Every structure is written in structure tokens, then in C-alpha cells.
Structure 1
Amino acid sequence: MTVQVVTDSASCLSPDQLVAHGVRQAALHLLLDGRAIPEDDDSLGEDWLSRPGLSTSGANEEELAALYAEALAESSGDGVVAVHLSGALSATVASAQAAARRSGPGVVVVDSRQTAMGVGFAALAAARAASRGAALDEVAEHARAAAASAATWGYADRLDWLRRSGRIPRTTWLVGTALSIRPVLGLSDGKLHVAERTRTRSRALDKLVELARAHFGDGETSVAIRHQQAEEHAERLAEALADRLQVAGKVDIGPVNRVLGAHVGVGALILTGIPATSL
């Protein structure tokens, strides 16, 4: 068989992408009414984001260990590469490392230091390497290289969600709310930071394009946008990016996963680019 690839739902890979590339996925969790519910649970309903006391948690060790065992059996001894959300943003990597120790040396955990499609692109790069017959260490290296070459930025329509989830300090929230700030977010060394403070959504989208253009230049770039109930704005951003970047194929647009959506809130956009050669 071949090396198997596992990721978590922060990757924001679509069901079709998971199936097409043979990637297994562990669900992160929403915490509601004192219960941890997998974010892909259909019973959550459409009002999950407005539920009082909403919080989040990562994939747990038991679930990951079971998933790794399944993947190991499928690999027939070739091993498993597990590509996960940044350890600076979630406890998922720590749970993954504990699950891997239980599973034995056949599981390699990769802390992508990324989120959203930064994780997704790394998992896809690993899966493509595995499909070509690459060995375990080589597949893991493809994941690490793709994650390192990807760049991720975001836009939050309001600061309230980031404050509630503890992703920004109270003082930033107070000042930003008073000034009607709509932040452009960046990811550096796996950690979230405010890259730009804008007053309008239009300016924020322009800034996302500027950041992507400055980072990727004229190189052919694969681009993905994930949104929280903001498909129209995602399409507008995609059109602007296509005008300024050498986009490989079409911009991949889709919804953000629920756990990330709980942190960035309604109207949010998450933009990830990666040199096409890294995939």
C-alpha cells in the first residue's frame, strides 16, 4: 500500500477534496452546554454560532489514536503522516503527539504552524507525494515544506468574536470597537496577529490583495478563500486576486469550518496562497 495522510477539520478541505486525495480527517469540537460536540455533527443546526456560551476544543487523543490505527492498518506498514492545525492555536497537536506515541513509530505528526487551507494545502501536498509512492519521511517533508511556503491572512468583520475566544487582548478589543476597526489578520510562526487596522470592508479586502501580491509576486500561486457566511465577499476578493496574481487554475472558494468560524465570526474571510510548485 502507500503512506496514509490524516488531518483535522481546521484544514477546511472540502468532502470532495478529502475523497479525491484519500485524506482522513479528525473533527475539532464545539463546546455547547458543557458538551464537546464534533463540529461536523449534523445535529448542531443552523443557529450554532449564536448559541450562548459557545466555545471550542481540539481533536482529542482517543479519537486521533483510533483514526491513526485505522490509517496504519490501511497503509500495510508504510505508515501515517498526520498534518495538523498550528500547535500555537490549538491543543490538537499535543493530542496528536500523544496519540502517535500510543500508535508506535509508524505515525509522524506534522505541526503545520498554519490554519485553514494552510493546513489543507500541506495535507494535499503530503497526499500527492504518497500517491507517487514516496516513503514516510519524504511524505512528511512534503507536508512541512508546503506548510512553510504557504501564507495565510484573514479578515474579521467585527472584533467581538476574536475577543470572546481570547485571540486578541481586551484592550485591543476596546480600542478597536470604539474606532470601528475591521482588522486584517496575519499568521506568523503559527500565531495570529493583527496585520492591519482598517475602517471598511472594502479597504480590508484591498489590503488582503496587497499582502498576497507583495508575498507571491509574479509566481504562479494556488489560492484558496474560506468564508463565514460571506460568499459574495469571497467571490469579490477572488476576482481581485485573479487580476493581481498569477493564479493557478481557479481560486478555491468554500466555507470555513465551524471551529474557526466560531473564532472569527460572521462575515470573516481567510485567504491562503501557496506557490503552485509546492503542490
Structure 2
Amino acid sequence: MPDHLAVVTDSTAYLPQDAIDRHRISVVPLSVVVGDEVLTEGVEISPKDVAEALRAKRRVTTSRPNPETFAAAYRAAAEAGATAAVSIHISAELSGTYEAAQLAAAEAPIPVEVVDSRLVGMALGHCVLTAAEAAAAGLDAAGVAAAARERAALTSGFFYVDTLEHLRRGGRIGAARALLGSALAVKPLLHLSAGRIEPLEKVRTASRAIARLEEIAVSQAGDAPVDIAVHHLAAEDRAEPLAERLRERVPGLRELQVSEVGAVIGAHVGPGLLAVVVAPR
């Protein structure tokens, strides 16, 4: 498709493959380090692999993205006929991805507008889909980036983790660090706020935490048109029933997806993650 605007994101958007193909979205894979081995998310390491490594108490971290990986994506877009690109990424508060994309954009053969979504997972993914739809409608790079930012501002992400230990090790815990002292006695509910992971509520049991997660999602969705995503890591038995209940309880629901997070996010949250993304249209 010559003379078009390319939409680029990273692998933490966890977009369904059919959506990537349908909208011709370019996805730059990020990497995970297990022990001393650097592995590409979705290619060399799966969600199951990272869950098993964490359970085995192996050292699992994420590596800073190389700007060259983004530069290659921008060159490929130009070679495919794109006259500009909008590159939308995981929160800069959680990753160096946005900075790497900016460095690459400065040297790209076409103009590239880089957007910090301040989100992650399908919260980011919905912003990317909105951008792709805006590009298909003929908006220029500024218009496409604005559409992505507007969807991002409306989108919320709430999640439950079995333990804060993985977030603590990765330094991604933000103000939720205050929960660490009582981490054994509570099951924390967290959310994304200003691009950071922040504490939301403390609940005494996992079952109550999941029930509360459901209530928060239903309240956040309201009656207006909304897309919802349920994410998990090695917790499909929790995710599927939650998705079914949300399908019954959210009157304005348009699309609902259930997916397992990949290795990059999995490395920081650990097995047992359950998350809900609420993205009003």
C-alpha cells in the first residue's frame, strides 16, 4: 500500500494477530533476560516459559530496547511506501521503549511522531487500534497521534497480583511500595495512574480481590460504548470466568478479549496476574 501512514507499536500492546494483520500494524518485539540469556518476546520466550522461570526463582529481568530495532521498523515502513509514521508505546514510566523510539525517530528516513501512551497491555493496544483506524480514515500524523492520545486519556487499567515481589524486584512498584510491609496480609489491587503503577485498594483474600476487580471494571465501564480486555499470566481459570461475568454485566460492551500477557510484563507481575482494561469508545 504505497503513500500511506504507518502505525508502529511494541510487543507489550498484546494485540491479537488478526488485528495486527488487518490494520497492517508494525510491532517491534521487546526482550526479556532469563539468567544471562536475552530472549525476544513472543519469538524465543512464551508466557508459559516466563511463568515457569519465575516459579523456579530464576532471575528474570527486562532489557533496555535497542533504538536500532525501532530504526529498522521505520526504514521498513518507508520502503513499503509510508510517507510518515506514528509510533505508540508502553508508558515511559515503566520502560525505556519510548526513549529508544524517539532516538530512532530522529534518524528515520520519514517523519515519525512518537507517542507515550502512559499505558501497557491492551490499554496500549486499544490506542494503537484507534490510531490505525484514524490512519485508514486519512488523518495525517498529527491527527492520528491525537486520536491515540485521546483514547489513552479515556482508558483505565486495573490489576491484581498474587505478590508484589516481582514488581519490587523490577523497580516498577512506584507508590505501591507502601504496601510491601503488609504484603503477606493483603492481596493488592493496583492501577495505572499517570503512567505509573499505583496502589488502589488492599483486600484480604484473592477471591475478594477478584470480586472487587470485577466491581471496579463494571463501575468504570458504565453504560457507554466500551471495549474491555482481560489479561492474565498462568491464570486462565480466573480470567475466563471473569470475562464471562463482565460480558453479562456491562451493557455497552462492544468487544471483549481475553489474553495472556507476554514475557516482558509477565517478568514484572508474576504468575497469577489478573487485569482488566476498560477502554471507552
TM-score by length of 2: 0.90
Show CA shifts across 1:71-119 (max 9, x none). 1232442x00000000011110011111111115610000001111111
Question: Comparing 118-127 with 153-162, which one deviates more in the overlay?
Answer: 153-162
In 1, the alpha carbon distance for the partners of 2:280 and 2:46 equals: 36
Aligned residues: 273
Check whether the contact 1:57–1:90 (CA below 8 A) recurs between aligned residues.
Answer: no
Check whether the contact 1:213–1:244 (CA below 8 A) recurs between aligned residues.
Answer: yes
Runs of at least 5 residues in structure 1 that lack an aligned partner in the other structure? none
TM-score by length of 1: 0.91
Within the candidate set 60, 69, 72, 1:54 is matched to 60
* Structure 1 residue 45: Cα displacement: 9.1
1:17 equivalent in structure 2: 19
Check whether the contact 1:26–1:59 (CA below 8 A) recurs between aligned residues.
Answer: no
The residue type equivalent to 2:213 in the other structure is: L
* Structure 1 residue 247: Cα displacement: 4.2
In 2, the alpha carbon distance for the partners of 1:43 and 1:157 equals: 22
Cα gap change, 1:107 to 1:129, in 2 (>3 Å): same
Cα gap change, 1:202 to 1:256, in 2 (>3 Å): same
Show CA shifts across 1:17-72 (max 9, x none). 21121111111110123343211233679543343211112432010111111112
Show CA shifts across 1:133-153 (max 9, x none). 221111111111111111111
Question: Comparing 151-160 with 45-54, which one deviates more in the overlay?
Answer: 45-54
The residue type equivalent to 1:54 in the other structure is: V
In 1, the alpha carbon distance for the partners of 2:101 and 2:261 equals: 22
The residue type equivalent to 2:170 in the other structure is: S
Cα gap change, 1:73 to 1:272, in 2 (>3 Å): same
Within the candidate set 130, 137, 144, 2:142 is matched to 137
2:70 equivalent in structure 1: 64
Q: SS at the partner of 2:87?
A: strand
Cα gap change, 1:271 to 1:137, in 2 (>3 Å): same
* Structure 1 residue 159: Cα displacement: 2.1
Runs of at least 5 residues in structure 2 that lack an aligned partner in the other structure? none
Cα gap change, 1:229 to 1:69, in 2 (>3 Å): same
The residue type equivalent to 2:50 in the other structure is: W
In 2, the alpha carbon distance for the partners of 1:99 and 1:76 equals: 16
1:38 equivalent in structure 2: 40
In 1, the alpha carbon distance for the partners of 2:253 and 2:214 equals: 16
1:192 equivalent in structure 2: 197
In 2, the alpha carbon distance for the partners of 1:254 and 1:45 equals: 10
Cα gap change, 1:197 to 1:11, in 2 (>3 Å): same
2:107 equivalent in structure 1: 102
Cα gap change, 1:187 to 1:101, in 2 (>3 Å): same
Show CA shifts across 1:254-278 (max 9, x none). 11121111111111112111113xx
* Structure 1 residue 182: Cα displacement: 1.5
Equivalences for residues 141-152 of structure 1 within 5 A: 141-152=146-157
1:258 equivalent in structure 2: 263
The residue type equivalent to 1:172 in the other structure is: L
1:173 equivalent in structure 2: 180
Question: Comparing 237-246 with 55-64, which one deviates more in the overlay?
Answer: 237-246
- Runs of 4+ deviating beyond 6 Å: none
Check whether the contact 1:4–1:74 (CA below 8 A) recurs between aligned residues.
Answer: no
In 1, the alpha carbon distance for the partners of 2:26 and 2:86 equals: 10
Alignment partner of 1:269 is 2:274: yes
Show CA shifts across 1:136-195 (max 9, x none). 111111111111111111111222222222233766334212x1x211111110000111
In 1, the alpha carbon distance for the partners of 2:22 and 2:204 equals: 41
Check whether the contact 1:72–1:106 (CA below 8 A) recurs between aligned residues.
Answer: no
Identity score, percent? 35
Q: SS at the partner of 2:106?
A: helix
Cα gap change, 1:170 to 1:106, in 2 (>3 Å): closer
In 1, the alpha carbon distance for the partners of 2:18 and 2:202 equals: 36
Check whether the contact 1:88–1:113 (CA below 8 A) recurs between aligned residues.
Answer: yes
